[in-house]
Amino acid sequence: MKKFFLLAGIATIIFSSFQAQAKIWRINNTPGLTADFSNFSAAIVSASVVDGDTLHFESSGIDYAGATLNKRLVIIGLGFFLDPANVTTPGNAGLQAATAESRISSCTINNGANGSKFLGIAMGGISINASPNPLNITFEKVYFLGGINFANASHSNVTIRKSFFNNSSIQAPNGSLSNFVVENSIFVGFSAHINAGALIGSANVIRNNTFISSYLNTLANCYVANNIASDPSYDWSFTNCTVKNNLFARASQPIPVTGTDNQVGVNMANVFVGTGSADARYQLKAGSPAIAAGLTIGTVVTPDCGAFGATDPYKLSGIPNIPSIYSYSVPTSIPAGTATMNVTFSTRNTN
């Protein structure tokens, strides 16, 4: 408990120094700790919280209750996979002093939330009901435990980058969805897939992602390049898609006639390092057939396939690009009557 209080206090000092015109609001539901708000809904409905503000969800051992978002806000957390001692999802050491992530149980995105951004947060599930176009909603470095569901409506301009889907999916089978981008993300588990038959237009991109044991991926009208699909048992379904430079474990994976430089029947034992944290294990091993197998992107010629390749690779633990406290030390005791104590902490900015 003392650790939560101390880190929250240090975070307040750091964030106050970076605050410009848009306000940063602290959210913390730890009992006994004072913050601007203790829950998601209270922050959204507050008249003081306006479009363009940031809600910073601090480390907590308690999930934050879900809410309906109808303002243009930045939702930011500490990242995920922070605890190396976690047996189920081993974390990466030395990235955050706090080992408890900030996790929101759910979020429904309604009209008015256009332009919102989710960054470094763990989400139990997202429902996108907002229909005004463009939505201009970005999910970056997000840990999805409940996936994303698009309502049966017209949607456009939704981007997902450098995120991790833990046995959760993207569902857009009905209505229409355009200008949809999924890049440098990792999908792990039987239910971790993309069901996006509702894609329309010519600006949809599924690029440099890693799919582990994923099934029933259904894509229409999109550019599919530099991905790795490790499941040998299920076909991907492509309708009017450009499919280039992907690796498929399935030997009989159908490739559109316009597809080029795809590899099928790949032995995935030769692709990934297979050890380490919950996300680091999907980095490429030496000699991997995915190394330099990708289609050139920008200034990166023949990038690696998968989430860790191309111009803006996946970042371990989804640490947001704000100052993070990765270590601190406090005295084990102080003399009675001492009014102050020296605290040493180390910070860095993660891009």
Three-state secondary structure of 299-339 = CECCCCCCCCCCCCCCCHHHCCCCEEEEEEECCCCCCCCCC
Residue 81 pLDDT: 97
Residue 309 pLDDT: 98
For 111-131, the DSSP string reads: TT-TT-EEES-EES-EEE---
What are residue 108's phi and psi, to 5 degrees?
Answer: -100, 125
For the record, the structure tokens of 262 come out as 């795809």
For the record, the structure tokens of 250 come out as 């399935």
Each of the 351 residues of the chain gets a pLDDT tens digit; together they read 444 444 444 454 455 544 456 899 999 999 999 999 999 999 999 999 999 999 999 999 999 999 999 999 999 999 999 999 999 999 999 888 778 999 999 999 999 999 999 999 999 999 999 887 899 999 999 999 999 999 999 999 999 999 999 999 999 999 999 999 999 999 999 999 999 999 999 999 999 999 999 988 999 999 999 999 999 999 999 999 999 999 999 999 999 999 999 999 999 999 999 999 999 999 999 999 999 999 999 999 999 999 999 999 999 999 998 665 544 455 555 667 666 655 555 455 566
Residue 328 pLDDT: 46
Residue 132 pLDDT: 78
Rounded CA separation 129/224 (Å): 26
- Bridge-based pairing of strands 247-248 and 242-244 is unpaired
Residue 5 pLDDT: 44
Instruction: Look up tokens 């099934």; give the residue.
Output: 215
pTM summary value: 0.90
